[in-house]
DNA sequence: AAAATTCGTCGACAACTGTAGTCAAAGAGT
DNA sequence: ACTCTTTGACTACAGTTGTCGACGAATTTT
C-alpha cells in the first residue's frame, strides 16, 4: 500500500490542474492559477518544487523548461484525504458524515436519484 | 455569521472530548488523551492554550486549576471543516463526494437505510 | 515546615505552509 | 554580439503545528 502523501491547500490546487491535463509547463499552470489565486510565478514554482520533492509530481525536460506530470492518482489522493477528514471531524462515522452533507447541501432530485442508485447497488453487492 | 475558525488535527482531538463532556480540567483531558496519543501533559496544556487564544474554548477558575469548556459548537465546526474539505478535495461537488464515501466504505444495510430515509425526506422538503 | 506534586505560563524548536524575491544560465529578438 | 526575457534553483520569512521541557507559584503530603 502507498504511503498516503498529504498535500496542502495550495498543492491541491496545482495537482487538480495536472490531473485535468498533463504534462504542462509551469507557465501554463501559472496562467491558469493566476486568475483565481493571484499567485506570482515564483509561488507556483515553489509549489511545483515541493510536489516534485514529495514525489507527487514528475518532471521531464523540454528544452529550457520542464514539463510537469502528476504521478499520484487523483482517486487515491482523494481517498487518503477523505479518510483523514472523516477521522478527524466525524470520528470515523460515515453515516453522520453522509447525513451532514445530505442535509447541508441542496441536492437536486437528479443528484438524489444518483445517490439512491449507488446505495442500492452497494446493498446488493455487500449481500453475498 | 461566525468567523469559521479552523482547527488543527491535534486541536480537534481535544475539542471532541470537550464536546462530549464539559467542563473538564486539563488533567481529565490528559487522562483521556494519553492512551491514544501518548501526549505529555505539556502538550495538552499547549493545545488548550491555543484553543483559548483562538476563542474556541473558555476557562473558568476552579481553585488551583481551570475548568475548560468549548464555546464553539461541534456542528458549526464540522460544517466549516466539511466545506473546506469539499472545496479543496472535491472542488465543491457534493455528488462525487457522496459517491466516494458510499463506494469506499462498507456501509451496513442499517446505515444505508438511514441514509435513504434522509434522502427521501430531503426530496420531499425541497419540493414545496 | 520541608518535600513532593500539580498547574498554568513561557520559551523552544523543527517541519510544514503561504508567498515571493533574487540570481545566474539559457534562449529569443534585433 | 548584445540586450531582454524566461526558467529553475536558492533564499527568505512569518505563521501554524506537533511536541515538550523549564520554571515558579500554589497545594498536598509527610
Q: What are the start-end ranges of the H helices in A38-108?
A: 41-54, 74-90, 94-104
| pLDDT interval class at A127 (50, 70, 90) | low
Considering only residues A38 and A112, tell me which one the structure prediction assigns the higher pLDDT. A38
| Beta strand residue intervals within chain B, DSSP E | 57-62, 65-70
**Per-residue cell: A16:** 487538480
Q: Is B73 on the interface with A (CB under 8 A)?
A: no
| Residue A122 scores a pLDDT above 60 | yes
A115–B95: do the CB atoms touch at under 8 Å?
A: yes
Cα four-point dihedral sign A22, A25, A31, A36: positive
Q: What whole-number distance in Å separates Cα of residue A46 and Cα of residue A111?
A: 38
> How far B93 CA sits from the closest chain A CA (Å)?
10
Q: Does A117 touch chain B (CB under 8 A)?
A: no
- Nearest Cα of chain B lies from the Cα of A65 at a distance, in angstroms, of 28
Residue of A17, A88, A100 to mutate, interface with B, max B Cβ within 10 Å: A88
For residue A98, give the nearest of B101, B88, B76 by alpha carbon: B101
**Which of the four pLDDT bands, split at 50, 70 and 90, describes residue B127?**
low
List the one residue out of B62, A116, B32, B104 whose CA is nearest residue B47. Answer: B32
Position A2 scores a pLDDT of 62
Q: Which helix (H) or strand (E) holds B109?
A: helix B109-127
**A101 to chain B: which residues are within 8 Å by CB?**
82, 86, 94, 97-98
Please tell me the distance in Å from A125's CA to the nearest CA on chain B: 10
- State whether B94 and A111 contact (CB < 8 Å): yes
Query: 3-class DSSP state for residue A4?
Result: coil
Q: Which nucleotide is nearest to B45 (CA to C1')?
A: C8
Task: Give the tens place of pLDDT for each residue, B71-126.
Answer: 999 999 999 999 999 999 999 999 899 989 988 887 888 888 888 888 888 877 66
Helix (H/G/I), strand (E/B), else coil: A69: strand
Read off the C-alpha cell for A123: 446493498
Write the pLDDT tens digit of every residue in A1-45.
566 899 999 999 999 999 999 999 999 999 999 999 999 999 999
Task: Read off the pLDDT band of A105 (50, 70, 90).
Answer: confident
pLDDT digits (tens, 9 = 90+) for A65-81: 999 999 999 999 999 99
Share of chain B above pLDDT 70, in %: 95
Residue B100 to residue A118, Cβ atoms within 8 A: no
**Mean residue pLDDT across chain B:** 92
**Spacing of B32 CA from C8 C1' in Å:** 19
| Residue B91 backbone class (left: φ over 0; alpha: ψ -120 to 50; beta: rest) | left
The 10 Å Cβ neighbour count of residue B127 is 7
Amino acid at each position: 500500500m502507498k504511503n498516503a502523501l498529504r498535500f496542502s491547500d495550495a498543492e491541491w490546487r496545482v495537482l487538480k490542474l495536472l490531473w485535468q491535463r498533463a504534462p504542462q509547463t509551469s507557465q501554463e499552470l501559472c496562467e491558469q492559477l493566476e486568475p483565481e489565486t493571484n499567485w506570482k510565478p515564483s509561488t507556483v514554482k515553489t509549489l511545483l518544487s515541493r510536489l516534485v520533492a514529495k514525489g507527487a509530481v514528475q518532471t521531464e525536460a523540454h528544452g529550457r523548461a520542464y514539463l510537469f506530470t502528476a504521478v499520484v492518482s487523483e482517486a487515491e489522493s482523494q481517498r487518503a484525504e477523505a479518510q483523514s477528514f472523516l477521522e478527524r471531524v466525524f470520528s470515523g462515522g460515515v453515516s453522520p458524515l453522509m447525513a451532514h452533507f445530505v442535509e447541508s447541501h441542496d441536492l437536486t432530485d437528479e443528484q438524489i436519484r444518483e445517490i439512491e442508485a449507488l446505495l442500492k447497488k452497494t446493498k446488493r453487492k455487500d449481500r453475498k
